[in-house]
C-alpha cells in the first residue's frame, strides 16, 4: 500500500492567467513554485521511506530512510524561511510551516513505531505486531492525506486571491 502516490497538485496552481496591479505573474509563480518545491522534497523523502517499508531489506536501510525525512524537513524549513516576497501575506508560508510540523508529528509517532516494528527480530514479530503495523500504516496514510488536503486548500486560497483572470 503506497502512501503518497501522487505529486502535489500544487504545481498545477502555479500557472495563472492575465496580470494587472500587484505582484507580477512571474513573481506569483516563483513564490508558489519555491514553496511547493520544498514541500515536494519532503514528500519525496517520505515516499522513499515508504518504498523501503515495501522492499524491507535491513534495519540500517530503514533507519537511513527515516533520518533522511528529518534531514529534508530541516532543509526545507530553512529554505522556506528564506523565500522572499509576499511579506504582507504570509498565509502560504505559514501553511508550509504547518505542513512541516504535521509531517514531523507523523514521523515522531506513526512512522517511528512502524520503523520499530520493522526492525524487530523475526522471532518477536508476531501476529499482534503485524496487525499493529497494518493499522499504523493505514493511520499514517489517512493523516498524510489530511495534511495534503490542508496544504492544497492553502494553495487554492492563495491562487484565488492572486488570480488575475477575468473569468
| Chain segment 77-136, per-residue pLDDT in tens | 999 999 998 878 888 999 999 999 999 999 999 999 999 999 999 999 999 999 999 999
CATH 1.10.287 fits 23-162, yes or no: no
* CA dihedral of 24, 27, 31, 34, whole degrees rounded to 10: 150
Give yes or no for a contact between 133 and 117, defined as CB atoms under 8 angstroms apart. yes
| Residues 6+ positions from 37 with CB-CB distance below 8 Å | none
What pLDDT does residue 164 have?
Answer: 60
Residue 85: per-residue pLDDT: 83
pLDDT at residue 99, rounded to an integer: 98
Query: In degrees to the nearest 10, what's the CA dihedral of 79, 83, 87, 90?
Result: -50
Length of the chain: 167
More reliable by pLDDT, 102 or 27 = 102
- Alpha carbon distance 107, 99 (integer Å): 12
Question: Which grid cell is 146?
Answer: 489530511
pLDDT of residue 136: 98
Question: Averaged over 1-9, what is the pLDDT?
Answer: 43
Give domain limits for the chain. 23-162
Mean pLDDT of 143-163: 91
Amino acid at each position: 500500500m503506497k502512501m503518497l502516490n501522487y505529486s502535489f497538485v500544487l504545481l498545477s496552481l502555479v500557472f495563472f492567467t492575465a496580470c494587472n496591479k500587484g505582484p507580477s505573474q512571474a513573481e506569483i509563480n516563483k513564490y508558489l513554485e519555491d514553496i511547493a518545491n520544498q514541500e515536494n522534497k519532503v514528500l519525496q523523502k517520505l515516499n522513499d521511506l515508504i518504498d523501503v517499508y515495501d522492499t524491507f531489506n535491513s534495519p540500517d536501510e530503514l533507519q537511513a530512510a527515516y533520518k533522511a525525512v528529518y534531514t529534508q524537513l530541516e532543509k526545507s524549513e530553512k529554505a522556506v524561511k528564506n523565500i522572499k516576497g509576499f511579506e504582507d501575506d504570509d498565509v502560504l508560508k505559514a501553511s508550509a510551516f504547518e505542513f512541516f510540523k504535521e509531517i514531523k508529528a507523523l514521523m515522531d509517532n506513526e512512522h517511528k513505531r512502524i520503523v520499530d516494528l520493522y526492525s524487530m527480530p523475526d522471532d518477536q514479530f508476531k501476529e499482534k505486531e503485524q496487525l499493529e503495523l497494518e493499522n499504523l500504516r493505514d493511520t499514517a496514510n489517512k493523516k498524510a492525506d489530511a495534511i495534503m488536503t490542508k496544504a492544497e486548500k492553502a494553495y487554492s486560497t492563495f491562487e484565488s486571491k492572486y488570480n488575475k483572470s477575468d473569468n
